[in-house]
C-alpha cells in the first residue's frame, strides 16, 4: 500500500473514532438526568465534531472525499452500554465508567498513530498530537468524575 493510501486510512480511522465518541456521549447524555454531566458530554461532542472536521479537511487536501461512519467495535460497545444501562438505570458511576472506556479506546487509537513510524506531513502529525493531548485531558476529567463518584458509594 502506498504511503498516501496508508495516511488516508489512518486519518479515516481517527475520524471514525471521533464519530464513535460523539455517538457514545450522545448515548450517555440520553442515559442521565444530571445537568453537569449533560453539559460535559455536550462539550465533548462539540470537541469531537471539531476534531473530525479538522481531520476530514486533511482527507480532502489529500484528494479524498468519503462519508465515514463509526467503527464496528464502537457500535458493539454502544449496544452493550444500552443493554447494561437498562439494568443499572441512570447510575452515574456506570455511565462515567462507560465514558472512560471510550476515552481509553480513543487514546489507544491516537497513541498508535503517533508512535508509528509512518511518514506524514508535519502539519498532520501536529494536528493529531494536539487532538490526542486534548483527548487525554478529557479522559482525565472523566476519570476524575468517575473516581469522585466511586468514593461517594
Condensed to tens digits (0 to 9), the pLDDT of residues 54-68 reads 999 999 998 887 667
What is the model's pTM?
Answer: 0.86
Closest by Cα among 98, 96, 105 to 148? 96
- Distance between CA atoms of residues 29 and 41, nearest Å: 6
- Distance between CA atoms of residues 126 and 146, nearest Å: 30
pLDDT reported for residue 88: 60
The more confidently predicted of residues 152 and 112 is: 112
pLDDT reported for residue 12: 93
Domains and CATH numbers, the chain: 3-152 (1.20.1260.10)
pLDDT reported for residue 2: 87
Amino acid at each position: 500500500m502506498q504511503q498516501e493510501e496508508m495516511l488516508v486510512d489512518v486519518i479515516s480511522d481517527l475520524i471514525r473514532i471521533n464519530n464513535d465518541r460523539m455517538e457514545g456521549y450522545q448515548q450517555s447524555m440520553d442515559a442521565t438526568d444530571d445537568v453537569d454531566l449533560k453539559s460535559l458530554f455536550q462539550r465533548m461532542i462539540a470537541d469531537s465534531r471539531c476534531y473530525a472536521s479538522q481531520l476530514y479537511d486533511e482527507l480532502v487536501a489529500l484528494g479524498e472525499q468519503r462519508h465515514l461512519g463509526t467503527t464496528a467495535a464502537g457500535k458493539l460497545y454502544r449496544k452493550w452500554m444500552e443493554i447494561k444501562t437498562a439494568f443499572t438505570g441512570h447510575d452515574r458511576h456506570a455511565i462515567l465508567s462507560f465514558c472512560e472506556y471510550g476515552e481509553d479506546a480513543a487514546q489507544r487509537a491516537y497513541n498508535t498513530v503517533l508512535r508509528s513510524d509512518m511518514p506524514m506531513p508535519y502539519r498532520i502529525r501536529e494536528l493529531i498530537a494536539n487532538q490526542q493531548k486534548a483527548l487525554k485531558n478529557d479522559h482525565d476529567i472523566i476519570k476524575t468524575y468517575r473516581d469522585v463518584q466511586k468514593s461517594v458509594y
